[in-house]
Amino acid sequence: MNIVVPVKLVPDLVEELEIDDGGTALDTTWLRFILNEVDEHALEQALLLKESLSGTVSVISLDGEGVDDVLFASSAKGVDRLIKLTGVDYGVNVNNHAMARFYATTVRILEPDLVLVGVQAHNDLDGSLGPLLAEYVGMPYVGYVSGIAPINGRCRVRKEYPGGLIAEMDVEMPAVLGVQAAESPPRYVAISRIRQAMKTAAVDEQAAPDLDTTGGPMVDSMFKPETAERATMITGDEDEVAGRIVDLLRELGKA
Amino acid sequence: MSQDIHVIVEHLRGQVADITYVAVAAARRLATGTGGGVAAVLLGHDGETLAGDLAADRVVYIDDPALADFNPEHYNVILADLIGGDPPRCVLFGDTSMGAEVAGVLSARLSMPLVSRCRSVDAANGRLRFISQICGGKILVEGDIPEPNALITMVPGGYKPEQGRGETAPEVTRTSVSPLGSGRVAFAGYQEPKAEDIDISTTPILVAIGRGIANEDNVELAEELAETLGGAVCASRPVVDQGWLPTTRMVGKSGKRVKPDVYLALGISGAPEHVEGMSDSDLTIAVNTDPEAPIFDVAQYGSEVDLLDLLPVLIERVRAAKGG
Ligand SMILES: Cc1cc2nc3c(=O)[nH]c(=O)nc-3n(C[C@H](O)[C@H](O)[C@H](O)COP(=O)(O)OP(=O)(O)OC[C@H]3O[C@@H](n4cnc5c(N)ncnc54)[C@H](O)[C@@H]3O)c2cc1C
């Protein structure tokens, strides 16, 4: 089973987000890029499948701040091949249509049995990567997947609906699947093993084709939500806050 | 090309999803700008009446036994034909487990631009505008809906489902499709959610924990507080994905919708996927060390104290108040 995991790095929401002077994009000066959270799950699911069925896992990423760390961490977890598309950076205006076109070129060459992507990313504005990529490479797509069992050229996947309901779907391979959650939480890898990977793992650098962003909207204004209805803040230390919460509960007859 | 707005009806086991009503409300707004009508597009089997209470001008109904349950491939084939054949100005989907993947594939297949995570729309001076919500609800972006046609996926929050509900049933036109073959994706059946220990959707007091709870041991503190209050513990997705609580306790887009008297949100950022499940709570009190956390836009009361400092004190205070 050969699996490709095309990843996306996204701004870390733990950091304060600032809007740049142009007013249409995030100020990247202080922005930290991290691996999209559900991509961690896609990667974990790929490694679980490789461990149970043998095969290889390749990770592809565009270039940019933080990408090498992500690639070496994946190698330390057991990824066989690291591919970096150079000449394009997450920090600039690459939308998902463009990213899907980039990854499609590489996926066509690698001819995998499965392509696992994170089902969405928090900054998707022109749809998620998976269905676009699937269509560009001519493979079927099913998303919101939280379980994959390959049998005879097909995968039985668990697709999540609201409220905990699962639909089982049989998908012919090769296929692109949008992973919502891996069958077990993403594994932890020690820093020492990542350092080791930095010394031994090779990153295959390939020049990205030309940027083509058609298919997404243009943004002419970016802003933070208005704070008109913001919560009344309870100040003080934990004693005072606990006291106030109990008062609120008491008013409702709950304490 | 028409100036109509289409809404793809999302339904699961005989129930139309709330997001479809939200999309119809948005479609009505867009149609005032284009001068066209609003058509609900319904794919199903023996489900002709499902779209009866949508505030649409008409319903395009496609019936086939293979459409009894959602299959993305069938939707892609049928809608590519329908939309590609006579493209409406906009086609609206839910940004959901069903809508998001169909919209994505169609955008690539029909070379039609796609705007996702749209919260509200506007029509003024001949321009159609979108506002989308990104970065976990921390950022909004605005722009023109691409010309001449566009696909749009809607998130909840901008319109109430009631705004998309109509008084009179719209007229239904049946359209036939060429037989749907067995393709590359087949629906195999449902797996019901596991039997519940506690039903959080009917519990009046919920202690909700998020990633801020930090580790599994601390979950016990939340359990203790919930027990003292006579309520239950529920959680955001990461807590459930870690295996610290069962799936039945998850609140949000992929979990349950809850409507308690009190929702105490501890260490939850307030991502849109979470808020979707708890925004109808009567009283929300949020505790989060990040003053910019979007949960404070939903909560009536908030505090920036560390939840791990707060929990033991709060448990004692509640105990004392209960006279225990
Ligand atoms: C398709 C899809 C469906 C999803 N469905 C759901 C769903 O149904 N339900 C759901 O919840 N999520 C869902 N998610 C995930 C969602 O996008 C968010 O990632 C998730 O809700 C974040 O959970 P969180 O708030 O617990 O964690 P985070 O966003 O990491 O927030 C943790 C918060 O805790 C605060 N904090 C940290 N330490 C402390 C402390 N000591 N004291 C006080 N505060 C502290 C931080 O400031 C932060 O705001 C879905 C995602 C996808 C892609």
Establish if A100 belongs to a structural domain: yes
**How many angstroms is it from B272 CA to the middle of ligand 1?**
9
Atom 27 (ligand 1): residue with closest C-alpha? B211
Q: Which of A227, A232, A254 sits opposite B300 (nearest CB)?
A: A232
| Domain CATH code at residue B44 | 3.40.50.620
Are B63 and B174 contacting, i.e. CB atoms less than 8 angstroms apart? yes
3-state secondary structure of A175: strand
In a domain, A33, yes or no: yes
- CA of B84 vs chain A CAs: smallest distance (Å): 15
* Residue A171 in domain: yes
Comparing alpha-carbon positions, the chain B residue that sits nearest to A235 is B303
> Are residues B14 and B116 both part of a single domain?
yes
B185 in any annotated domain: no
Is residue B139, in this structure, part of any structural domain at all?
Answer: yes
Pairing of strands B11-12, B15-16: antiparallel
Q: Specify the 3-state DSSP secondary structure of B38.
A: strand
B170 with B202, same domain: the answer is no
Record: contact A232-B302, CB cut-off 8 A: yes
Residue with tokens 């990423």, as numbered in its chain: A61
Which chain A residue has the Cα nearest residue B183?
A172
Structural domain contains residue B187:
no
Tokens 């939500």 identify what position?
Answer: A225
> What is the residue with the minimal CA distance to atom 7 of ligand 1?
B252
The enclosing domain of A199 has a CATH number of 3.40.50.620
Name the residue among B148, B96, B155 with its Cα closest to residue B121: B155
pTM here is: 0.96
Q: Which of B211, B292, B303, B309 to mutate to test the interface with A (most CBs of A within 10 A)?
A: B303
Q: Are residues B62 and B209 in the same domain?
A: no
Q: What is the predicted ipTM?
A: 0.96
State the DSSP string of A131-168: HHHHHHHT--EEEEEEEEEEETTEEEEEEE-GGG-EEE
DSSP state for residue B256 in the 8-state scheme: B
- Best residue among A13, A34, A37 to mutate for probing ligand 1's pocket (most ligand atoms within 8 Å of CB) is A37
Q: For residues B239 and B224, what is the distance between their CA atoms, to the nearest angstrom?
A: 17
How close B62 comes to chain A (CA, Å)? 22
Domain count across chain A: 1
Distance from CA of A62 to the nearest CA of B (A): 20
Domain boundaries, position A120: 2-207
Distance from C-alpha of A25 to C-alpha of A219, rounded to nearest angstrom: 8
Residue B204 belongs to domain spanning? 195-323
B26 in the same domain as B170: yes
pLDDT in tens, chain A (255 residues): 999 999 999 999 988 899 999 999 999 888 899 999 999 999 999 999 999 999 999 999 999 999 999 999 999 999 999 999 999 988 778 999 999 999 999 999 999 999 999 999 999 999 999 999 999 999 999 999 999 999 999 999 999 999 889 999 999 999 999 999 999 999 999 999 999 999 999 999 999 999 999 999 999 999 998 766 789 999 999 999 999 999 999 998 887
Cα(B174)–Cα(B190) distance, integer angstroms: 28
pLDDT band with cut points at 50, 70 and 90 for residue B84: very high
Token readout for B195 is: 């039997």
Q: Is the minimum CB–CB distance between B192 and chain A shorter than 8 Å?
A: yes
Distance B267 CA to ligand 1 centre (A): 8
For residue B182, tell me if it sits in a domain: no
Query: Is B143–A230 a contact, with Cβ atoms under 8 angstroms apart?
Result: no
Locate B142 and state its tokens.
């605005």
pLDDT tens-place string over residues B213-268: 999 999 999 999 999 999 999 999 999 999 999 999 999 999 999 999 999 999 99
pLDDT, tens digit, 9 for 90 and up, residues A115-143: 999 999 999 999 999 999 999 999 999 99
